[in-house]
Structure 1
Amino acid sequence: MTESHIIYMDNAATTPVRQEVVDAMIPYMRENFGNPSSLYDIAKINREAVALARSRVARALNAEDKEIYFTSCGTESDNWAIKGTAFANRDKGKHIITSAIEHHAVLYTCQWLEKQGFEVTYLPVDEFGMVNPKDVEAAIRPDTVLITIMFANNEIGTIQPIAEIGKIAREHNVLFHTDAVQAAGHVPIDVKAMNIDMLSISGHKFNGPKGTGVLYIGKRVKLDSLMHGGDQERKRRAGTENVAGIVGIGLALELSVKEMDATTKRLDALRKRLVDGLLTIPKSRLNGHPTKRLPNNVNVIFEYIEGESILLMLNRRGICASTGSACNSASLEPSHVLTACGIPHEVVHGSLRLTLGEMNTQEDVDIVIDAVKDIVQKLRNMSPLTPDELRKY
């Protein structure tokens, strides 16, 4: 199989780095290799490059430059925001509020904190994976130190009412963090207007390099450091800066925000075509909110078959997809996101996630629709669970 035959529809897992971003990064791997913390001229060049990237990220989020901190990934940013807030504010309380459908970078961090004596409230979601802001407010206690609710879900694409939750958190003087790894570069984000205190992003989700992340930390936030060592990132996050990666994530986010309207319009049309085609398959359903969702996300369940089998057969045809989060792809457990939406375990296993990106075309969508239709029918014909009316002999 050659690259030209591949149809890549797993952009929620990762994206290819844009050529403009690669071109911008290369000088900082070769001639401009200096450590930004040093005093000589080539170090100054790199300090200025980091400062430019910081400004680019800040503008994209409507933040101030000094509120932007570079990390290694979204997982580090989530861990820093949650653990750092928890330990820095223990004198106020040990209660945290999150949702049942968070990425495992958040859920596992909260579970670890429970072992350290913290209490965590895991809010339920409705059938579309939506958190009710009233539930958030009802869960707040005098000892609540943090609310962490993801901006958009990585499996089903549902976009949460972040501005409403942020307003509630601010009114109750509780810090609010959002994991925006899937949202950044794809939907508008304004940390000031939305009353967001901390926000995590990851570069490889919007055509930037892997191994790059950002944590926005608002000025009112009291936060312990997660990484200790040198004085980098204004003494809050130690470790020599990944200058090339920082340059890459800054430019990639700037370009994604600049092109967002046009990209959203194109992806919305492709998504609608893909959803309409897949839902002609009997006993199928769309997961996530029908309208309040990421423009590139399609998550569909086909009853009586296993999603992993669909993936293997799609792969043989050069089509890349997933059943959910790439970070948990080896697990045989049913999706915690879909089960939280009230979908029975035996049905959850038939899920397929297709996430569109810059490389996808209408022709790709039509090829995928035909391939999925054929594969679902073949798998149903082999399954002893399939009702006779869904078989073809």
Structure 2
Amino acid sequence: MIYFDYAATCPLDKDAASAYIKVAANYFANSNSLHDMGGTVQSFIEQCRSDFASLLGVDKEGIYFTSGGSESNFLTIQALLSEQPKNKNHIITTLAEHSSIHSTMKILEKQGYEIDYLPVMNNGLIDLELFEKRLNENTGLVSIHHVNSETGAIQPIEEIGSICKKHGVLFHSDFVQSFGKLPLTSFTNMLDGFSLSSHKFYGPKGVGVAYINPKHNWEGYYPGTTHENGFRPGTLNTAGIVSMTVAAQKAHLQLEGNQFHFKQLRNAFLQKTKGNSSIHVIECAQQLPSIIGLRVKNMEGQWVMLESNRRGYAISTGSACQVGQQTPSKSMKAMGFSDEQAKEFVRISFGKDTTIEEVEQYAQLLKEMIAETSS
């Protein structure tokens, strides 16, 4: 089967896998233990913390290791809100956020927070003028993702950060789809917190990173926790953290080459589907080339995904299937598409081993599927 779902998860890098096995087998002590074996493990953790700080251009004191992007999003948002006065109960996010952000916002709504969900324009980006108008004296936090997981749209993080700083509002961003694929260090200092996930850049599953600017005096969500300076409970996944760090360093070294490769793959797909009126690729003002969101007109995305799977291609609908009916893509809805159009959405996403031949073959398959259903 040809895998076109790298935005969902990636295979484990071989060097990262080797590091995992070595650490898991030989350096298994709890990093909080006071004996020498615990101290050795703690030194590994701190080296990884320094390595991530260097890759991200931030203070290592703000780096915390977690179980992944969803936990990082939840705990970072909770930590940033913990230092805000009670009147700062207005939060701005977008309709196109990852489900982990939306579920966090639902919890906060029950706690009395007012959540303001911004739409995105038809170019995939937020309207900065509208965003600034929505800020008010009670706005305590903004949480807007960097790269959209369904369309690949790249939000203007620097501009959003500048507006937040001007108004004295805390800014968190979900970097899960962008770390290892885009350079970030030019604007990480604009944020109060961000999140990333190991398995999106060829590291192991079940491990991630949260960052909170050390200037903040936050309180942990779980009381009495000692791990990670009180940020989260539980023995640290040392093997996962070391393996993730190896994968992160490789992704950083290969970033430029991979970006060139992804642009070639995207161009090959666009050229192969050019002129077919049934295939509508979602084009955004700024876009990650490795993610292609599209509609096949008059075909439900769930059917296209299942038929692609039957013919040997793993793609995604970009949304969940509930009670036998496909939920409309939230990113498409946020961009103003109708429910019917949003249900036609599918996503293909590339990895470093994807070939132009594979992409062209799938584009041809799509055209054949369209011809078969219309005949």
Q: Is residue 35 from structure 1 mapped to residue 30 from structure 2 by the alignment?
A: yes
Whether 1:321 and 2:315 are equivalent positions in the alignment is: yes
Instruction: State the match for 1:236 in structure 2.
Output: 231
Aligned to 2:349: 355
User: Which one-letter code corresponds to 1:292 in the other structure?
Assistant: Q
The CA deviation at 1:229 is 4.4
Distance 1:180 1:353 in 2: 19
Aligned to 2:273: 278
| CA–CA separation in structure 1 for the residues paired with 2:356 and 2:24 | 37
Aligned position for 2:286: 292
Deviation at 1:169? 0.7
In the alignment, is the contact (CA less than 8 A) between 2:58 and 2:188 conserved in 1? no
Q: CA deviation at 1:365?
A: 0.9
Q: Counterparts of 1:112-127 in structure 2 under 5 Å?
A: 112-127=107-122
Is 1:102–1:149's contact at 8 Å kept on the other side of the alignment? Answer: yes
CA contact (8 A) 2:176 2:197 kept: yes
Query: TM-score when scaled to structure 1?
Result: 0.91
When the two chains are superposed, the root-mean-square deviation of aligned CA atoms in Å is: 1.6
SS in 1 for 2:103: helix
Gaps of at least 5 residues in structure 1 are 1-5, 382-390
Structure 2 counterpart of 1:23, from 15, 18, 25: 18
Deviation (angstroms), 1:340? 1.4
Q: Describe the shift of the 1:319–1:229 C-alpha distance in structure 2 as closer, same or farther (beyond 3 A).
A: farther
Partner of 2:89: 94
Q: Specify the alignment match of 1:335 in structure 2.
A: 329
Matches within 5 A, 1:145-164: 145-164=140-159
The residue number in structure 1 matching 2:257 is 262
Query: CA separation of 1:164/1:194 partners in 2, compared to 1, >3 Å: closer, same or farther?
Result: farther
In the alignment, the residues of structure 2 paired with residue 110 and residue 375 of structure 1 have an alpha-carbon distance, to the nearest angstrom, of 40
Asked if structure 2 preserves the Cα contact closer than 8 Å seen for 1:311 and 1:321, the reply is yes
Q: Distance in 2 between matches of 1:193 and 1:213?
A: 17
Q: Could you state the TM-score of these two structures normalised by the residue count of structure 2?
A: 0.95
1:10 equivalent among 5, 9, 18: 5
Q: 1:191 to 1:94 in 2, by over 3 A?
A: farther
Q: C-alpha separation between the residues in 2 aligned to 1:141 and 1:245?
A: 41
> Is this contact kept in 2: 1:273–1:365, CA < 8 A?
yes
Pairwise CA distance, 1:180: 0.8
Residue type of the partner of 1:69? Y
- Alignment counterpart, residue 130 of structure 2, candidates 135, 145, 148: 135
Distance 1:185 1:234, change over 3 A: same
The residue that corresponds to 2:245 in the other structure is 250
Which residue type is aligned with residue 309 of structure 2? N
Helix, strand or coil for the counterpart of 1:188?
Answer: coil
Q: Secondary structure at the match of 1:259?
A: helix
Q: Does residue 183 of structure 2 align to residue 188 of structure 1? A: yes
Contact in 1 for aligned 2:31/2:41 (Cα 8 Å): yes
1:224 is matched with 219
3-state SS in 2 of match to 1:86: helix
| Equivalent residues in 2 for 1:47-58, closer than 5 Å | 47-58=42-53
Contact 1:101 1:129 in 2 (8 A): no
Larger mean CA deviation between 216-225 and 140-149 belongs to 216-225
Q: 1:110 to 1:230 in 2, by over 3 A?
A: closer
Hey, what's the Cα distance between the residues in 1 that align with 2:103 and 2:350? 28
1:300–1:352 CA contact under 8 A, matched in 2: yes
How many residue pairs were aligned?
373
Deviations 1:179-215 (A, max 9, x none): 1111111111127565111001011111011111111
The Cα shift of 1:359 comes to 2.0
Task: Give the gaps of 5 or more residues in structure 2.
Answer: none
Name 2:74's counterpart in structure 1.
79
Look up the SS of the partner of 1:30 in the other structure.
helix
Greater displacement, 152-161 / 36-45: 36-45
Question: Structure 2 CA distance, aligned partners of 1:89 and 1:349?
Answer: 39
Task: In structure 2, give the amino acid aligned to 1:324.
Answer: G
**Cα distance, 1:221 vs. partner?**
2.6
Q: Determine the C-alpha separation between the residues in 1 that align with 2:305 and 2:86.
A: 49
Paired AA for residue 268 in structure 1: K
Cα 1:150/1:288, change in 2 over 3 Å: farther
Residue type of the partner of 1:165?
A: I
Write the deviation string for residues 122-159 of structure 1: whole angstroms up to 9, x where unpaired. 11210122112222211111111101100010000000
**Distance between the aligned counterparts of 2:98 and 2:274, measured in 1?**
27
Are the counterparts in 2 of residues 81 and 223 from structure 1 also a CA contact under 8 Å?
no
Contact in 2 for aligned 1:229/1:239 (Cα 8 Å)? no
User: Cα distance, 1:110 vs. partner?
Assistant: 1.0
Separation of aligned partners in 1, 2:332 and 2:341: 9
C-alpha distance in structure 2 between counterparts of 1:293 and 1:12, whole Å: 14
> CA deviation digits over 1:98-137, x for unaligned, max 9?
1111111111211221111111111121012211222221
Distance 1:93 1:346 in 2: 38
